[in-house]
Amino acid sequence: MEKRRNYSRKREAILNAVRSTTSHPTADWVYEKLKPEYPDLSLGTVYRNLAQFKQDGTIISVGVVNGQERYDGNVKPHTHFVCSKCGSVIDIPDDYIGADRIEQAERKYRLRIDSTDILLRGVCPDCLKKAE
């Protein structure tokens, strides 16, 4: 039986904070953004809600970058790029694995693939420019 969660302004604010940015925020970023409006907000509350949103599929985790988990409110399939210099996370909207390749892998390895996550790593344009 699924546990019903009551409406919470803080929970809604946490979700809106993640969805309102393309910076792929950390829990600390969300906490710092919301703390002025919600003085009694705890970092634990932010972490618990982010974990629940992730479990529900409301948000996704991009993974750990520079020691902190990064989140994305855009749950549509897309690729991410992580800069190995500054740690920025950038959305790459192009589809790098087409449905035909997924179906081929399913047949070849006798799998059922529900989703794909592609993470590209390298150096972002800003860091490349600074290196020149």
Residue 86 labeled ligand binder: yes
CATH placement of domain 1-73: 1.10.10.10
Question: Is 0.75 surpassed by the pTM of this model?
Answer: yes
CA distance 34 to 27: 11
Q: Which residues pair with 119 in a beta bridge?
A: 80
Position 104, amino acid: Q
For the segment(s) 76-132, the CATH number from 3.40.50.620, 2.40.50.700, 3.30.470.20, 3.30.1490.190 is 3.30.1490.190
Type of residue found at 31: Y
* pLDDT for the residue 99: 83
Do the annotations mark residue 65 as ligand-binding? no
110 assigned to a ligand binding site = no
- pLDDT digits 0-9 by tens, 116-126: 888 999 999 99
For residue 90, what are the β-bridge partners?
Answer: 81
The answer to the question of whether 71 is labelled as a binding residue is no
pLDDT tens digits along 23-37: 999 999 999 999 999
* Cα–Cα distance measured from residue 52 to residue 65, given in angstroms and rounded to the nearest whole number: 20
For the chain, the structural domain boundaries read 1-73, 76-132
Q: What is the pLDDT along the chain (132 residues), one digit of tens a residue?
A: 455 677 799 999 999 999 999 999 999 999 999 999 999 999 999 999 999 999 999 999 999 999 999 999 999 888 999 999 999 999 998 777 888 898 999 999 999 998 888 899 999 999 999 998
Task: Report the DSSP beta bridge partners of residue 79.
Answer: 92
